[in-house]
Amino acid sequence: MVDNAGTRRQARRKVTIGLQHLRFAVLANDCGSLRRAAEMLTVRHSAMSRSIGQFEHLIGARLFERSSAGIKPTLAGKGVIRMARVILEQLDALVATGRSIGRGQTGRISVGLYTSISAGNLRNNLIDFRKRFPHLELGITERPRAHLLNALRSGAIDVLVVTGDARSMDNKTLKLWSERIFVSLPEGHPLQARDIVYWTDLRNETVLLSHHDLSRELEDVIISKLVSAGDRPKIERHDASRSFIKSLVSMGLGVSLMLESDAGASFDDLVYREIRDGTGSSRIEYSAQWRSDNENPALQSFLQLLLERYPSSTRAE
């Protein structure tokens, strides 16, 4: 009698999980469609579908729920896709480091962020770093906070520039600058006539926030400024980027909150006003976070620049 189970195990061992499986799965997840992912990679839809099916077979779990509307990751799929991103980012960092050394350069630093670089301190710091250390390669990764923390933990990213307290036992922290909070309004909104908007003015508004950005910090500020639940605005959370939130605001579907660096980016049909309480401006602090065991010389150069620009900063060991 043929041992079918043993035959299947042997067949599975002949095909191992490869980078193509990871890249195809991540892109398919981002596109929400196997067909759109195949078109972006200029491969046949059947090849994309076969690769995903093979990947599912190899890990022994279904990654996506398929329907006429596209695909949606399963619970197992979400975990696999998250780890696949980290692996691919680490590989990209490995290749970039090798190329940098091969070109005779002395190092590379990867900076993670989830804030705007359209204006403000972060933009100026990155420009200054490039001018002062032209021989160092600078890589930028913009992702949600949880993803950045995972990438920092795995070593795919050298340093994070983030808001709020993202510390862990393995991280060191350097406090940096703070930025004022602004409210973005659709053109013609009644609050546009004011030079300054107060938190209490938001009582009857709908505030649109992105899950990917400063949603938690901004909600905490709203709660601290408007203690009574009856005084707080309605909050709508969207799984969308900052630019998409701005589009919703410009359509008159609500208002939104952002930091002053993001208010530096022009957007049609939007106006920005600083938001305050009775004591003055409302601000959110930034900090740099990095692993205590990271010995990358390029990281030390970046941190030295930050220490020079923010000499009153304090470091939490």
At residue 268, the pLDDT reads 72
Domain 82-176+286-316 CATH (choose: 3.40.50.40, 3.40.50.300, 3.40.50.150, 3.40.190.10) = 3.40.190.10
How many whole angstroms separate alpha carbon 274 and alpha carbon 303? 31
At residue 47, the pLDDT reads 92
Start-end ranges of CATH 3.40.190.10 in the chain? Answer: 82-176+286-316, 178-284
Other Cβ atoms less than 10 A from the Cβ of 56: the count is: 19
Residue pointed to by tokens 């691919």: 88
At residue 311, the pLDDT reads 76
At how many degrees (to 10) do helices 297-309 and 120-132 cross? 130
At residue 2, the pLDDT reads 47
pLDDT in tens, the chain (317 residues): 445 555 555 554 456 888 899 999 999 999 999 999 999 889 999 999 999 999 999 999 999 999 988 899 999 999 999 999 989 888 887 777 666 555 444 578 899 887 766 557 888 888 999 888 888 888 888 877 778 888 888 888 999 988 866 556 678 888 888 889 999 999 999 999 998 899 999 999 999 988 766 777 888 899 899 988 888 999 998 887 778 888 899 999 999 998 888 776 666 788 999 999 988 999 988 889 999 888 888 888 899 889 888 876 555 44
CATH class of 4-79: mainly alpha
CA atoms within a 13 Å half-sphere pointing along the CA-CB vector of 254: 21
Helices and strands, counts by H and E, the chain:
11, 14
Start-end ranges of CATH 1.10.10.10 in the chain? Answer: 4-79
At residue 1, the pLDDT reads 46
Of 151, 153, 173, 150, nearest in space to 161 by CA:
173
At residue 246, the pLDDT reads 87
The domain covering 178-284 belongs, at the CATH homologous superfamily level, to Periplasmic binding protein-like II (3.40.190.10)
Q: 118: Cβ–Cβ under 8 A, 6 or more apart, which residues? A: 261, 262, 264, 265
